[in-house]
Structure 1
Amino acid sequence: MDDTERGFLTELLETPSPSGYETRGQRIWVEYVEQFADEVRTDAYGNAVAVAEGSPDAPTVAFTGHADEIGFSVNRIDDDGFLHLAPIGGSDRTVSKGQHVTVHTGDGPVSGVVTQTAIHLRERDGDEFEDISQQTVDIGAADGEAARETVEVGDPITFSSGVEGLMGSRLAGRALDNRVGTWAAAEALRRAVAADVDATVYAVSTVQEEVGAQGAKMVATEVDADAVVVVDVSHVSDYPGGKADKAGDTELGGGPIVGRGGANHPVVAQAVRKAAADADIAVQLQADPNAGGTDARSFYTARGGVPTLNLGVPNRYMHTPVEVIDTDDLDAVADLLAAFADQSAEYETFGVDV
């Protein structure tokens, strides 16, 4: 990953984009892909689609990631000036208390903290993890009137933590789920263009995945691809508390994770594995026997059924402010997608042979 690619990733990660409020992050993505795509377009909700036209006789492949992140919304403002919360997506109630947050208001960002009763004052045998709806944010307002002059009901809130490098090629921060997917889709398109592949290649950055894959539903019928690869983060089991019975024997640094079963089309999965082998890219396998919780569930059922695959970026501590990935894995995802695009011309169809 060179300095330009790393700078693009950092800018994506540091730009808050909670579900329903992805515009700023999408603008960064669009400006990047405009440098090498033949066409870039957006829709009414902010989904972004870039395409590099290939040979009319070659297949069309699409690489997608979702731009949004989990967060909170201001549900109400009490008379003491505290903000009461509603979750955006699958926010984890066990990690939110005592955290710095940013309220994204119409007049700009407002700093706050999620309140937490001091350990000295809590019942030791009580439930210390209140539901998000019972948690509050302190912005320092003297009273409700002062708070309401600055913040409105419905304003989105994100954790204030940024992105930090750890040892080696590891990276930690919020919103790796799934800005890394949009980075990979864009980078795969750029690398496919540089390699002058025959295929027509789409890169797609969707909105509102964390609230039901809504953005993917909007663009799934528009992207007329023969095969779709959805890039999202995948759980691993290589840390204390990791669940091998759920995530399999997967790890950071082991390479992209290829989903198998369910929405994951067997021909596309095999084609991606072949591209990986030919390019000497290590991959990991993960059982994914159901429809899954990614944008794949919207793409694979569109237009009568589109061969689709989940390709995972190994990720620790998902849906926390300190998600961790290995950037070598992420770089390998982009390389693998470009290699798959290059080899896609070998396939007359990705459909199963019945």
Structure 2
Amino acid sequence: MNDSQWDFLTELLETPSPSGYETRGQRVWVDYVEAFADEVRTDDYGNAIATYEGSDDGPTIALTGHADEIGFIVNRIDDDGFLHLGSIGGSDRTVTKGQHVTVHTADGPVSGVIAQTAIHLRDADEDKLDDISEQAVDIGAADREEATEVVEVGDPITFSSTVEELMGTRVAARGMDNRVGTWTAAEGLRLAAEAEVDATVVAVSTVQEELGTRGAKMVGFQLDLDAVLVVDVTHVSDYPGGRPDKAGDIELGAGPVVGRGSANHPVVTQAVRKAAADADIDVQLQAAGMGTGTDAREFFVARGGVPTVNISVPNRYMHTPVEVIDTDDLEEVAELLAAFTEQASRYDTFAVDV
């Protein structure tokens, strides 16, 4: 990964983008893709769409990821100045207490910590997991009046963790889910533009996936597409406590993960696997018998049905402040996206043969 790619990735990861409050992160993405896209636009809710115009008779292929991350929201402010929490997306109550957080206010960031009773003061029967709604942030305010001078109900909150380089090509950060997907969509578009592929390629960074794939529903209605490659993260099972019975035998550093089943279109799946083989990219397969749980579930039913495949970046510790990925996987996903766009014009149609 070169310096420009790394800087783009770290800026995406370090720019807070909780669901419903994605504009700062989307600006980072838009500024990057403007250098090589023929057109960049955003819609009323902040979905960002960048287009490379291919030949007139080529297919139109979308490469997508979602911009939002999980987090919290200020639900109420009590008389003592503590901020009581609501969830934004699938926040994990087992990793929240005792964490540094940042409240994102109209006037700038406010630092805080999620309160936790010290182990010395807890009775054994008190060692339970409080729901997010039972947890509170301490910003150091003396009372409600002081707290409301800097914070309002409805302000979003994220963990304060940022990017940490681990050994080799492993990296930890919050929000890998799914800024890595938007990174690959942008990089896939850049590589396709450099290769001057015949296909028209549309890179998309959607909003509010963590709240129910809402941005994808908006974008799927807007665009007339021949195929969609949706990039998100997926669980691995290569760590203590991993669950191969649920995640399959997925590993970090073993390459992009190609979904099979449910929303994953069989013809496009095979085309993606062929593109990977021709580009000498090893892929892992993952079963999705009931659904993908990603933006793919909106794109594949848009406009009467669009052939769609979910391609995943392997990820450890999803929905925690310390998600871990391997940047080799990340680069290979971007290369696979570009390889597919290069071969897409060879297909007269992606429709199944019945």
Deviations 1:235-285 (A, max 9, x none): 010000000001101100000000000000011110000000000001000
Q: What is the percent sequence identity of the aligned residues? A: 75
Contact map agreement 1:62 1:223 (CA 8 A) in 2: no
| 8 Å contact kept, 1:197–1:342 | yes
Aligned to 1:146: 146
1:102 aligns with 2:102: yes
The answer on 1:303 being equivalent to 2:275 is no
> Structure 1: how far apart are the matches of 2:77 and 2:69?
23
- Contact 2:66–2:205 (CA under 8 A) maintained in structure 1: yes
Deviations for 1:89-148, whole angstroms, at most 9, x for unmatched residues? 000000000000000011100000000000111122444310000000000000111001
Partners of 1:123 and 1:152 lie apart in 2 by: 34
| Corresponding residue SS for 1:228 | strand
Q: Distance in 2 between matches of 1:125 and 1:77?
A: 28
Match of 2:169 in 1: 169
Letter in 2 for 1:194: E
Residue number in structure 2 paired with 1:42: 42
> Gaps (5+ residues) in structure 2?
none
CA distance in 1, matches of 2:281, 2:15: 30
CA contact (8 A) 2:47 2:215 kept: yes
* Offset of residue 291 of structure 1: 2.4
Secondary structure of the 1:94 match is helix
Tell me which residue corresponds to 1:206: 206
Deviation at 1:292, TM superposition (A): 2.4
Q: Which amino acid aligns with 1:218?
A: M
The normalised TM-score by structure 1 is: 0.99
Provide the rounded CA distance (Å) in 2 between the counterparts of 1:344 and 1:127: 55
**Deviation of 1:290 (Å):** 1.6
Q: What do the CA deviations read for 1:8-44 (whole angstroms, capped 9, x no partner)? A: 0000000000000000010010011110001001001
1:281 alignment partner in structure 2: 281
For structure 1, the residue ranges without an aligned partner over 5 or more in a row are: none
Partner of 1:346: 346
Q: Which amino acid in 2 is paired with 1:28? A: V
Counterparts of 1:224-303 in structure 2, within 5 Å, are 224-303=224-303
Q: Which secondary structure state, in structure 2, belongs to the residue aligned with residue 180 of structure 1?
A: helix
CA distance in 1, matches of 2:298, 2:162: 30
CA RMSD for the aligned pairs?
A: 0.7
**1-structure distance, mates of 2:254, 2:223:** 31
TM-score by length of 2: 0.99
Instruction: Give the partner amino acid of 1:25.
Output: G
Aligned residues: 354
Q: Distance in 2 between matches of 1:267 and 1:189?
A: 22
